[in-house]
Amino acid sequence: MLPFLTLLAGALTPAPADGAVVVQATAVHTADATIENGRILIRDGKIEAVGAEVGAGVRTIEVEGHLTAGIVALGDRTSLAGEARDETRQVMDTADLVHGFNAESKDWAPFLEAGVTAVLLTPEPGALVGGRTAVVKPGGSVMHPRAHLDICFSSAAFRDGVPPSSYPGALAMLAEHMALGAGGFGLVKEGLPVHLAASSRAEGLRAIAFAQRHGLKGALSGVRRAGDLAPELVEAGLAVILPPLGLGADPRHAASAVALAKAGVPMGFSLDAAKASPASLRFTAAQCIRAGMEPAAAWSALTHQAGAISGTSAGTLAAGSDADLVLWSGHPLDLTSRVERVWIDGALVHGGDDQ
Amino acid sequence: MIFTTLLAAAAPALASGGNTGVSLMVHAEYLHVGPGEIVRNALVQVDEGQIVAVLPGRSAPDGALSVHSAHAGMIDASARTTQAPSAVEQSKEIITQLSVQDAIDPFDPAWDRLARTGVTTALICPPDLNVIGGLSVVVKTAGAPRLEGRILEGKPILRGAIGDQPSGGNSPAFGRPRDYFARRPTTRMGVEWEWRKAFFDAGQAERFPEADFEGADVLRACLKGDVRVMIQAWTTADIRTACYIDEEMQREGYGDLDLVIDAGAEAWREPAFLQRTGTPVVLPPFPTSGRSGERSFMPWNTARVLKDKGIEVALSCHGETGPNARLGDQAGYAMRGGLTFDEALAAVTTTPAALLGVDQRVGKVAAGMDADLVLWNGTPFAATSAIVGVVAGGEVVLQPR
């Protein structure tokens, strides 16, 4: 899909001699500002400069709408098919999920349609250590082949007839692996972040305590009411990945997200094991805002904060980042706005044919 | 909760009345400070989660919670809140080194329900799916939001079971075993063998260090009496087996187990074994039909029969919080079966406190003890009385109305 689109875009927009182009939009949203008639200078797939005046003399594509960084989905298994879980061992600390990534899958199209330009691939629960996560671009390249070691603190890690069968047993087994420090555990000791999958608050507390005990950095993922754990999360310096909020979601879940934002816990949203559509991310942010979250906090949870949790610059519209951009018909947090165009690495991959 | 805030706000006013450092006052016409000890018109002063003073012959001052009767917060020595299979490691049938503490959910609404029925301290054991399931933990049911702040340091208790529960669901291996269920005991005698083998192996390993194994140190601590062994045994056959193991370890010179029988519904049938080994019993809730767990039979006078034989008895509601099954109800049922009021009170306060080794902090109403109080609108345990208020760790968890 992507090579084809790249070729197409290439055909439609003959690259200037130095490979640079400026995209100018009615409004450009960076992490901390909105620039009216802002300009983004793109060279070789990277953002070179952002501002009202940048790139004078460079070929300019003028578009109407709001231009933002792409949305980051933290936790998904699209294109992995049956490759997201390996049952040969309960501890797969040396397995890299990126080997299951299929850029050609047609399932990436809805991501682009929803303005998602980076996805954290996470293993399917079912093992104590499911492997190492990866950050990929929908239908495109690998941003980060080894973002976290995934450790499962939820009861989903217990498979009938295979140790461990219990929370105390799981913690003992993990402590043993940490003490040995081989494979992925060795990497974690050297600073590879952890992706701590959990579901209940009690599991979340155990995961946080484990991270603190071993001085680990990373994110707690999957605890919908993680807001109740905010003090512990702040103390441990961990981020949080929250499952998306659907229609009719328990109001305590949105309140929990608001509490986390108020406590200053870095946060992003997952697609909850690919159960939710990519479009649900923006809907989730809207639910959080309705529950009292600052719009800026909700937007950063969708974009650059989520990117930071993934260990990449995904979701950041700033000089030096990949030119992964989304053009919206209106304000991106207005649910009536729609995605008009998506660029990945400076190439138009969705919408628009007038470049 | 709102009431608690109001009370807290009232505290400075109380303090200015001369009672400095008193955040809560409870007045009871009849205060049962412990079994056999009544203080009339007592004023209990509480601060920072502890009882500061118990003053006799007072009238209820403004701002005090005023009730007919009060006694110490109750203790359920078999509260069974953490019973999911994920709370016990089943990949080995003998687990001694792991604690159920790592499986407890501090957000479980069961804690609040227990506290509001007057149970302010509870022993949490691993579920009895293993022969030996691991170490138990004593927790307060209310107070600190995190478990660490609610744990009471008592005597360590290793938990296991004799009967059909540890073998239930296991199946013998046909052909090549695929998982650990194929190795686990499938019968009562298999369960009994696992117990004896565990202690025998641990004892042997002391003589032959090369035979040592993970968790053997806990078993040896049990043989030395440093760790208490609590065994679920409903039927008289299983209670007998537990006592035989205790006696066998003594006879063979391995040590002397500090044994407690939990859920001893049929302890009344052969109390001689319990007398002989000095083993206390935690009784399960009284069954309305007579039949209790594992087809055991438990009559109303079970507690009376055991007390008459000099056997210590603690009552339990197994964490039940529904009407007619609560721990306060169990004390009433035990009285209906012949226990005196003081014996019934002891069976839900001082006896379990001593069993769990936490009697320095809970079980009685006295200065320096935890401020855990159960407030009644009439005589405690009477069918016409109800628990109208509960104070746990100095906090009002159920406001008397």
Average pLDDT estimate for B331-347:
98
What is the pLDDT, as a whole number, of residue A84? 86
A-B contacts at Cβ under 8 angstroms: 69
Q: What are the structural domains, with CATH classification, of chain B?
A: 2-72+390-398 (2.30.40), 74-362 (3.20.20.140)
Does residue A206 sit at the B interface (CB-CB below 8 Å)? yes
Whether the pLDDT of residue A36 is over 80: the answer is yes
State the fold for domain A71-309: TIM Barrel (3.20.20)
Q: Which helix (H) or strand (E) holds B26?
A: strand B24-34
Q: What's the mean per-residue pLDDT of chain B?
A: 92
Contact A111, A119 (CB under 8 A): yes
Q: Select the residue from A152, A165, A205 to test the B interface by mutation, using most B Cβ atoms within 10 A.
A: A165
Provide the 10 A C-beta neighbour count for residue A44: 12
Whether the pLDDT of residue A18 is over 70: the answer is no
Q: What is the CA radius of gyration of chain B?
A: 22
Average pLDDT estimate for B239-255:
96
Sign, CA dihedral B9-B13-B19-B20, equals positive
pLDDT tens for each residue of A37-62: 999 999 999 999 999 999 999 999 99
Which is more confident, B183 or A270? A270
What distance, in Å, lies between the first and last C-alpha atoms of chain A? 19
Average pLDDT estimate for A136-163:
94
Residue B178 buriedness (CB in 10 A; 0-12 / 13-18 / 19+): exposed
pLDDT tens for each residue of B273-286: 999 999 999 999 99
DSSP B93: S
Whether the pLDDT of residue B12 is over 60: the answer is no
Classify domain A2-70+316-350 at the CATH class level.
mainly beta
Whether the pLDDT of residue B179 is over 80: the answer is no
**Residue in chain A lying closest to B181 (CA):** A161
Contact list in B for residue A161 (CB cut-off 8 A) is 178-181
What is the pLDDT, as a whole number, of residue B173? 61
Alpha carbon distance B234, B264 (integer Å): 5
Residue B126: helix, strand or coil by DSSP? coil
Average pLDDT estimate for B167-182:
70
Whether the pLDDT of residue B344 is over 50: the answer is yes
pLDDT tens for each residue of A256-287: 999 999 999 999 999 976 678 999 999 999 99
Long-range contacts of B216-224 (CB under 8 A, 24+ apart): B216/B96, B217/B97, B218/B96, B218/B97, B218/B135, B218/B158, B219/B96, B219/B158, B220/B255, B221/B156, B222/B158, B222/B255, B222/B257, B222/B258, B223/B199, B223/B249, B223/B254, B223/B255, B223/B256, B223/B257, B224/B255
Nearest-10 Cα torsion for A204, A209, A211, A212? 140
Cβ contact B90–A205 (<8 Å): no
Q: What's the mean per-residue pLDDT of chain A?
A: 92
Q: What is the CA radius of gyration of chain A?
A: 20
Percent of chain B with pLDDT over 90: 86
Alpha carbon distance B138, B76 (integer Å): 10
What is the pLDDT, as a whole number, of residue A273? 66
B75 half-sphere exposure, CB direction, 13 A CA radius: 29
Alpha carbon distance B72, A142 (integer Å): 64
The three-point CA angle B133-B181-A129 to 5° equals: 75
Tell whether omega for the bond before B85 is within 30 degrees of 0, i.e. cis: no
Nearest-10 Cα torsion for A207, B141, B288, B234? 60
In 3D, which of B309, B379, B352 has the Cα closest to residue B74?
Answer: B352
Query: From the centroid of its chain, how far is CA B73?
Result: 12
CA distance B364 to chain A (A): 32
Contact A130, A92 (CB under 8 A): yes
Q: Domain-by-domain residue ranges, chain A?
A: 2-70+316-350, 71-309
Which is more confident, B268 or B322? B268
The three-point CA angle A196-A201-A205 to 5° equals: 60
CA distance B132 to chain A (A): 14
Contact list in A for residue B101 (CB cut-off 8 A) is 168
Whether the pLDDT of residue B17 is over 50: the answer is no
In 3D, which of A199, A162, A265, A307 has the Cα closest to residue B178?
Answer: A162
Does residue A168 sit at the B interface (CB-CB below 8 Å)? yes
Contact list in A for residue B125 (CB cut-off 8 A) is none
Average pLDDT estimate for A84-99:
91
Cβ contact B179–A160 (<8 Å): yes
ipTM associated with this complex: 0.89
Average pLDDT estimate for A305-330:
97
| pTM for this prediction | 0.91
Cβ contact B105–A202 (<8 Å): yes
Which tokens belong to A264? 């200053």
**Residue in chain A lying closest to B178 (CA):** A161
The three-point CA angle B348-B353-B359 to 5° equals: 135
What is the pLDDT, as a whole number, of residue B18? 47
Alpha carbon distance B114, B104 (integer Å): 15
Which is more confident, B167 or B137? B137
Where does the pLDDT of residue B271 fall: very low under 50, low under 70, confident under 90, or very high at 90 and above? very high
CA distance B104 to chain A (A): 7
Percent of chain B with pLDDT over 70: 93
Cβ contact B89–A168 (<8 Å): yes
Residues in chain B: 401
pLDDT tens for each residue of B367-398: 999 999 999 999 999 999 999 999 999 999 99
Task: Identify which of A161, A200, A202 has the shortest CB distance to residue B178.
Answer: A161
Where does the pLDDT of residue B9 fall: very low under 50, low under 70, confident under 90, or very high at 90 and above? very low
Average pLDDT estimate for A92-108:
95
Percent of chain A with pLDDT over 70: 94
Which is more confident, A1 or B126? B126
Q: Chain B residues contacting A, CB < 8 Å? A: 84-92, 95, 97-108, 126, 134, 146, 178-181
Average pLDDT estimate for A114-129:
95
What is the pLDDT, as a whole number, of residue B20? 60
Whether the pLDDT of residue A5 is over 60: the answer is no
A58-70 b/e (C-beta count within 10 Å ≥ 16 → b): beebebebbbbbb
DSSP B285: P
Residue B303: helix, strand or coil by DSSP? helix
pLDDT tens for each residue of B61-120: 999 999 999 999 999 999 999 999 999 999 999 999 999 999 999 999 999 999 999 999
Residue B6: helix, strand or coil by DSSP? helix
DSSP alpha helix (H) spans, chain A:
2-12, 109-113, 167-180, 183-189, 201-213, 230-236, 251-263, 280-290, 295-302, 304-309
Average pLDDT estimate for A140-168:
94
Provide the 10 A C-beta neighbour count for residue B174: 7
In 3D, which of A23, A75, A12 has the Cα closest to residue A306?
Answer: A75
Average pLDDT estimate for A12-22:
64
Whether the pLDDT of residue A3 is over 60: the answer is no
What is the pLDDT, as a whole number, of residue A66? 98
What is the pLDDT, as a whole number, of residue B172? 66
Residue type (1 letter), B121 = T
Where does the pLDDT of residue B174 fall: very low under 50, low under 70, confident under 90, or very high at 90 and above? low
Whether the pLDDT of residue B313 is over 90: the answer is yes
Contact A19, A43 (CB under 8 A): yes
Where does the pLDDT of residue B168 fall: very low under 50, low under 70, confident under 90, or very high at 90 and above? confident
In 3D, which of B206, B201, B165, B167 has the Cα closest to residue B184?
Answer: B167
Does residue A251 sit at the B interface (CB-CB below 8 Å)? no
